[in-house]
Amino acid sequence: MSSVKAERRATSEHIGDIAGLEACIGKTPGPMSLKVVDHLDAGAQKWLAASPLLFAAFASQTEVALTLAGGEPGFAEIVTDGRFRIPMALIDDPHSAHVGDGFGSLLLIPTIGETLRVNGRVATIDSDAIEIAVEECYVHCAKALIRSDFWMAQPRADAPHDPGAFLAASRFIALATADAHQDADVSPKGDPAGRLIRLADDAVWFADRPGNRRADSFRNVLTQPRVAITALIPGAHRVVRLRGDADISTDDRMRASFTVQEKTPLLATRIEPVRIEIVDSPALARARLWPAMAPDEAIDAAAILVGHIKLSKERGIQASLVRRAVSVPGIMRKGLQHDYKTNLY
pLDDT of 91 over the 70 cut:
yes
**Model confidence pLDDT, tens digit, residues 27-77:** 876 666 889 999 999 999 999 999 999 999 999 999 999 999 999 999 999
Q: Indicate the pLDDT class of residue 13, thresholds 50, 70 and 90.
A: confident
**Model confidence pLDDT, tens digit, residues 244-276:** 999 999 999 999 999 999 999 999 999 998 899
More confident residue, 295 or 268: 268
Identify the pLDDT of residue 215: 81
**Model confidence pLDDT, tens digit, residues 220-240:** 999 999 999 999 999 999 999
**Model confidence pLDDT, tens digit, residues 175-221:** 999 999 999 999 999 999 999 999 988 899 999 887 656 788 999 99
**Model confidence pLDDT, tens digit, residues 162-184:** 999 999 999 999 999 999 999 99
Identify the pLDDT of residue 9: 46
Identify the pLDDT of residue 27: 81
More confident residue, 241 or 4: 241
- The answer to whether the predicted template modeling score (pTM) of the entire model surpasses 0.75 is yes
Sorted by where each starts, the structural domains of the chain and their CATH numbers stand as 3-342 (2.30.110.10)
Three-state SS for the chain is CCHHHHHHHCCCCECCCHHHHHHHHCCCCHHHHHHCECCCCHHHHHHHHHCCEEEEEEECCCCEEEEEEECCCCCCEEEECCEEEEEHHHECCHHHCCCCCEEEEEEECCCCCCEEEEEEEEEEECCCEEEEEEEEEEEECCHHHHHCCHHHCCCCCCCCCCHHHHHHHCCEEEEEEECCCCCEEEEEEECCCCCCEEEECCEEEEECCCCCCCCHHHHHHHHCCEEEEEEECCCCCEEEEEEEEEEEECCHHHHHHCCECCECCCCEEEEEEEEEEEEECHHHHHHCCCCCCCCCCCCCHHHHHHHHHHHCCCCCHHHHHHHHHHCCCCHHHHHHHHHHHHCCC
